[in-house]
Structure 1
Amino acid sequence: MRALLVVNPAATTTSARTRDVLIHALASEMKLEAVTTEYRGHGRDLARRAAESDDIDLVVALGGDGTVNEVVNGLLHDGPDPERLPRLAVVPGGSTNVFARALGLPNDPVEATGAILAALAEQSERTVGLGLASGTPGTPDEGIPGRWFTFCAGVGFDASVIGRVEQQRERGKRSTHALYLRQVARQFLGDPNRIHGRITLERPGHEPVTDLVLSIVANTSPWTYLGNRPVYVSPNASFDTGLDVLGLSRLSTAAVARYGTQLLTSSPSRGPHGKHAITLHDLTDFTLNSKVPLPFQMDGDHLGLRTSVTFTGVRRALRVIV
């Protein structure tokens, strides 16, 4: 078996020594080429070349959710074709590793490598569905190319928080749960759109859902983690179905306290709920439109401002080793 290992040297939870151990373990079981990423988007470029080759059977992403997202977008550059494309394996190396953990992999990179090698020996894999987000035709965003996401995307409040976190990280702050919580509080105090939302969700054959402040598109559940605590924003979301949406039409102080408590106590059977919350399950095609440009995030990566994003849920998009 020939495999490409895409290594993010800035992965927050792996040292150079740990990465060397992992590379040695993988190389003992396959013909492995290990490449360290050197710039943003390098993982996408490497995975695209692997997808276009005829001799790469497996691409392994060693890093966090951002590295995984780049690799997935490289593999699917020309569209999904699970039987032709190399399979994907993920060794978690970031601070949260939502995609890897949602697949059931250990959060420890050494243990996850062992689980991947065992799965390869047993020929254990699954074909997962993914989400695709693109600029909506006929809007100022129509020229923005489509991009795949593995576990979530969002327009509005949550994307603003992620943008704030990225700004802090660029200033040298470590990515911690405390950092996220501080930015949530600061965004809440400074967000002019949190009472009267600007987002409208439109889907074929249904009335629009208007005045949303927050819109989280989930491809799996749990959606994220606080330490080892899973957070179930959309409990019914699954890699085997389309996309789920949680929308909130109000973020008053009382609403934030209520929904924040519901998130912290969420379970696989129930997520946030109430008169200002809407939940939609197993969507294939829909659009989020905004009256003003709002922040947009995908797999925890802030992608700038958008006025309209069209989402497509694609079942059976990529084979993954688990």
Structure 2
Amino acid sequence: MRALIVVNPAATTTSARTRDVLIHALASDLKLDVATTEYRGHARDLARQAAEGGTHELVVALGGDGTVNEVVNGLLHHGPDPDGLPRLAVVPGGSTNVFARALGLPNDVVEATGALLDALRDGTERTVGLGLAGGTPGTPDESVPARWFTFCAGFGFDAGVIGRVEQQRERGKRSTHALYIRQVMRQFLGDPHRREGTITLKRPDEDPIEQLVLAIICNTVPWTFLGNRPIYATPRASFDTALDVLGLSKLSTSAATRYATQLLTSSPDRGPRGKHAASLHDLTDFTLQSQAPLPFQMDGDHLGLRTSVTFTGVRRALRVIV
């Protein structure tokens, strides 16, 4: 099998020596071409060229969730081809690796490479669904191009946290769980909309859900990890269904404490609940609109402020070696 491996040299948990060893191991089972990313969006460009050129049967992403997201968007630049879905493999090299771990891959990069080699030799793969999000026609955001996400998107509070973390990383801070926790507290103290939400969720032929403070959109579970602890915002989300949504309409100190506790103790059978929590399952098409511009993120990548985002859940979008 001819494959392209897209390597992020800045991947958090790998060194140049480790990456060389992993590439050598994969080359023993694949006709492997290696490309190293040099700028933001380069992984997307490389994957798109591989998909359009038809010269590679498989693209391997070696990096974190951001690298995986770019590769997926390159593979699906023209959308899923029902006659031949693109094929992806992942070697997790980031700090969290939510997508890879949701697929059941080990979080250790060496062990994950071994699991990938076993899957290649056994010829095992699965089809996964993905989410697609973009600007809403008729709104100021209508020119925002659609983009795929592999495990989650967020509108409002959680995206604000992501934005703060990115600012700290640009200043040289390491991406650690302690950093995320500090930024959660700062976002909570500085968020002007946490007591009275500005988001409305609209679905075809359904009543709108109004005054949400935040909306978390999940394509699978878990939503994220805190160390080795999986967090389940939407326990029923699955790669085999469309999109799930958790919306919260209040984040006072008491409400935030309650929902934070529920998230930390969540499980595949039980997620956040209460009169200020709305949980929706297997949505194919919906729109989030806000009265004020709010931060937006996909797969942990802060994408700036939006007033409206349209979401589509695509149940069969990609083949993954696993």
* TM-score band, normalised by shorter chain: over 0.9
Matches of 2:267 and 2:167 in 1, distance apart?
A: 31
Establish whether residue 183 from structure 1 lines up as the match of residue 206 from structure 2.
no
Q: Can you list the C-alpha shifts for 1:203-235, whole angstroms capped at 9, x where unaligned? A: 001100000001000000111101110001100
Structure 2 SS opposite 1:128 = strand
Matches of 2:308 and 2:189 in 1, distance apart?
A: 25
Aligned to 2:39: 39
Matches of 2:268 and 2:113 in 1, distance apart?
A: 27
Aligned to 1:193: 193
Aligned to 1:301: 301
Aligned to 1:159: 159
1:279 alignment partner AA: S
Post-superposition offset of 1:305: 0.5
Aligned to 1:146: 146
Matches of 1:77 and 1:17 in 2, distance apart?
A: 32
Aligned to 1:136: 136
How many percent of aligned residue pairs carry the same amino acid? Answer: 80
8 A Cα contact 2:85 2:317, kept in partner = no
1:288 alignment partner AA: L
Matches of 2:236 and 2:287 in 1, distance apart?
A: 20
Structure 1 SS opposite 2:258 = helix
Q: Can you list the C-alpha shifts for 1:166-216, whole angstroms capped at 9, x where unaligned? A: 000000000001100000001111111000000000000110000000100
Matches of 1:240 and 1:126 in 2, distance apart?
A: 10
1:35 alignment partner AA: A
Aligned to 1:51: 51
Post-superposition offset of 1:55: 2.1
Aligned to 1:7: 7
Post-superposition offset of 1:85: 4.3
8 A Cα contact 2:43 2:67, kept in partner = yes
Q: Can you list the C-alpha shifts for 1:133-176, whole angstroms capped at 9, x where unaligned? A: 01000001111110000000011000000000000000000000
8 A Cα contact 1:157 1:214, kept in partner = yes
Aligned to 1:275: 275
Quote the RMSD (CA, aligned, Å).
Answer: 0.7
Matches of 1:119 and 1:150 in 2, distance apart?
A: 20
2:73 alignment partner AA: N
Matches of 1:62 and 1:74 in 2, distance apart?
A: 15
Matches of 1:263 and 1:29 in 2, distance apart?
A: 41
TM-score scaled by structure 2? 0.99
Post-superposition offset of 1:57: 0.5
Structure 1 SS opposite 2:79 = coil
Q: Can you list the C-alpha shifts for 1:289-319, whole angstroms capped at 9, x where unaligned? A: 0001110000000000100000000011000
Matches of 2:287 and 2:163 in 1, distance apart?
A: 22
Question: Which piece of structure 1 moves more, 156-165 or 77-86?
Answer: 77-86
8 A Cα contact 1:214 1:248, kept in partner = yes
8 A Cα contact 1:56 1:86, kept in partner = no
Matches of 2:156 and 2:143 in 1, distance apart?
A: 21
Post-superposition offset of 1:120: 1.0
- In structure 2, stretches of 5+ residues that fail to align are none
Structure 2 SS opposite 1:187 = helix
Alpha-carbon spacing, 1:83–1:100, altered in 2? closer, same or farther (3 Å)? farther
8 A Cα contact 2:80 2:86, kept in partner = no
Matches of 1:83 and 1:229 in 2, distance apart?
A: 38
Q: Can you list the C-alpha shifts for 1:74-127, whole angstroms capped at 9, x where unaligned? A: 000000125434410000000000000000000011111111111111110000
8 A Cα contact 1:82 1:319, kept in partner = no
Matches of 1:254 and 1:245 in 2, distance apart?
A: 22
Matches of 1:237 and 1:194 in 2, distance apart?
A: 25
Aligned to 2:256: 256
Aligned pairs (5 A) from 1:174-253: 174-253=174-253
- In structure 1, stretches of 5+ residues that fail to align are none
TM-score scaled by structure 1? 0.99
Number of equivalent positions? 322
Structure 2 SS opposite 1:14 = coil
8 A Cα contact 1:128 1:239, kept in partner = yes
Matches of 2:297 and 2:36 in 1, distance apart?
A: 25
8 A Cα contact 1:213 1:247, kept in partner = yes
Post-superposition offset of 1:54: 2.0
Structure 2 SS opposite 1:136 = coil
